[in-house]
Chains A and B, each alone.
Chain A
Amino acid sequence: MTEQPKTDSIKEGVLKAIEDGRVKMRPKWQFIAKAALAILGVVLVALTTLYLVSFIVFVLRQTGVLFVPGFGFRGFGIFFLSLPWLLIALAALFMLLLEIIIKRYSFAYGRPFLYSALAVVFLGIIGGIIIGETPLHERFFDEAESGHLPFARPMYEYFGQEPQNITVGAITKITGNGYQIQSGDGDDLFSVIVSPQTQTPPPNTLKVGDIILILGPRQGKTILAQGIQKPSTLPPPRRRFVVPIPAQ
């Protein structure tokens, strides 16, 4: 608390403190700078949130996880187990941070937390999905793989991997018991074994060059397919960091 002048009247005390120079008016630029910093903080946190959500969308599409629920009940189970929970938790944390920062503005504190929080989540998800549809992360992925983004490389490398039991690949050959595919793991080819129990698209609908999603365990270079799908929006498999990190 500021040292108080010993006078009976508040007015006298305050004016005397101003006159004596014990209380000074803070210059306007300080408030402008503070407001600008706060806005910058909001923008940075919002951009980070959008980046994280769009990265989640990119990872889900690229690894094929987004399309796994198409395999039915089992697909849903694998979908939930394969979600990048760490990224989701991080995105949720940034959304919370954004909500806390915007609460200083009347448009946010004047409304119940539920409304402003829902707006943040909704805009974060919609914005993230829109950005996720652009080639932004594909470019970052390629740049990270070629070592031009050393800071981003571990993230793209770690989250760009396909989860267990899910493989995305391009059909290179139709074999007697299934397909031969080329996945994103370097130039290696995988044999996809189809059994009568395999959930597949109608016969003769798959051809060489098609990008397919395979559900099933890998045994070396063989995949025992439990399900095969050809989602129309499934992106082609990307080479996954076969180039070593350049020495610093």
Chain B
Amino acid sequence: MTEQTDEQIAQAVQKGDSSAFGLLVERYEPKLLRYAKKFLFDYEDGKDIVQEVFIKAYSNIQSFDSGRSFSSWIYRIAHNEFINAIRKKGREPLSFFDPDTLFPHPTAPTQADDDLKKAEIKEMVEKCLKKLDPKYREPLVLYYYEDMDYKQISEIMRIPVSTAAIRLKRGKVALQKIYQSLNLKP
């Protein structure tokens, strides 16, 4: 029997099958915990925040359009919760205004990192997370850990696709600098 898609399960929940929501939690719990762990590296209540993400998702499931991707939808809720957590703690500066979203940026049409390069950058991100600005940390985590493409990152963060691409590019440059300043080998 074919496995149900996330969207089909979400539809079942919308129709009143609350227990089906457990399947979605099962599927997304490890992913969102990893996302929280990487993006909110220094926040001890990551698990509570992820639980809150699921509660919000259940509460708002009727707003989910089953014609769209459930993954982007729930990651969007997670993004909002994580940003709120960062703001609440006030440990890292988060500006409401981002000049990167103002103008178009020329970007490479596709992501061209090969597996080796990807693994290398993933290792760099892991080691330098604490030093990275959240605005670069998040797209790097979504791209290298959650395997999202530019379009998905753009939908989750509600920024233009070109801005997602430019943040990834700048994030990688920042990563190189931090890496070198820590005297680590790339």
Task: Given contacts A113-B101, A114-B103, list 8 more A-B pairs with CB under 8 A.
Answer: A11-B25, A18-B18, A18-B58, A25-B59, A110-B160, A111-B160, A112-B101, A112-B160
With contacts A4-B48, A114-B103 known, is A109 near B159, CB below 8 A?
A: yes
Q: Is the CB of A114 within 8 A of B104?
A: yes
Q: How far is the CA of A113 from the CA of B19 in the complex (A)?
A: 42
By a CB distance below 8 angstroms, the chain B residues around A114 are 102-104
A-B contact count (CB 8 A): 83
With contacts A26-B60, A112-B103 known, is A11 near B160, CB below 8 A?
A: no
Q: Is the CB of A10 within 8 A of B60?
A: no
Q: Is B39 an interface residue (CB 8 A)?
A: no
With contacts A1-B48, A110-B154 known, is A25 near B104, CB below 8 A?
A: no
Q: How far is the CA of A17 from the CA of B57 in the complex (A)?
A: 13
With contacts A11-B26, A25-B61 known, is A109 near B160, CB below 8 A?
A: yes
Chain A CB within 10 A, most for which of B51, B154, B155, B162: B51
Q: How far is the CA of A18 from the CA of B52 in the complex (A)?
A: 12
* Shortest Cβ gap from B136 to chain A (Å): 18
Q: Is the CB of B159 within 8 A of A14?
A: no
Q: Is the CB of A31 within 8 A of B62?
A: yes
By a CB distance below 8 angstroms, the chain A residues around B21 are 14-15, 18
Which residue of chain A has the shortest Cβ distance to B33 in the bound complex? A10
Which one of B55, B101, B103, B104 contacts A17 once the chains associate, using CB atoms below 8 Å? Answer: B55
By a CB distance below 8 angstroms, the chain A residues around B175 are none
* Shortest Cβ gap from A151 to chain B (Å): 36
Q: Is the CB of B18 within 8 A of A112?
A: no
Q: Is the CB of B155 within 8 A of A2?
A: no
Q: How far is the CA of A4 from the CA of B105 in the complex (A)?
A: 43
Q: How far is the CA of A17 from the CA of B18 in the complex (A)?
A: 11
Chain A, 26-37, contact with B by CB distance < 8 Å: what is the 0/1 string?
111011000000
Q: Is the CB of A14 within 8 A of B104?
A: no
Q: Is A221 an interface residue (CB 8 A)?
A: no
By a CB distance below 8 angstroms, the chain A residues around B104 are 112, 114-115
Q: Is A23 an interface residue (CB 8 A)?
A: yes
By a CB distance below 8 angstroms, the chain A residues around B102 are 112-114
Interface size class on chain A is 20 to 34
Would you call the interface of chain B mostly helix, strand, loop, or mixed? helix
* Shortest Cβ gap from A166 to chain B (Å): 38
Q: How far is the CA of A59 from the CA of B61 in the complex (A)?
A: 50
Q: How far is the CA of A60 from the CA of B25 in the complex (A)?
A: 61
Q: Is A24 an interface residue (CB 8 A)?
A: yes
* Shortest Cβ gap from B62 to chain A (Å): 4
* Shortest Cβ gap from A23 to chain B (Å): 5
Q: Is A219 an interface residue (CB 8 A)?
A: no
Q: Is B9 an interface residue (CB 8 A)?
A: no
Q: Is the CB of A25 within 8 A of B101?
A: no
Which residue of chain B has the shortest Cβ distance to A104 in the bound complex? B158
Q: Is B74 an interface residue (CB 8 A)?
A: no
Q: How far is the CA of A15 from the CA of B52 in the complex (A)?
A: 12
Q: Is A106 an interface residue (CB 8 A)?
A: yes
Q: Is the CB of A2 within 8 A of B154?
A: no
Please report which residues of chain A, range 2-22, place their CB below 8 angstroms from some CB of chain B when the two chains form the complex.
2, 4, 10-11, 13-15, 17-19
Chain B CB within 10 A, most for which of A19, A26, A30: A26
Q: How far is the CA of A1 from the CA of B82 in the complex (A)?
A: 12
Chain B, 18-33, contact with A by CB distance < 8 Å: what is the 0/1 string?
1101100110010001
* Shortest Cβ gap from B105 to chain A (Å): 8
* Shortest Cβ gap from A28 to chain B (Å): 4
Please report which residues of chain B, range 44-91, place their CB below 8 angstroms from some CB of chain A when the two chains form the complex.
47-48, 50-52, 54-55, 58-63
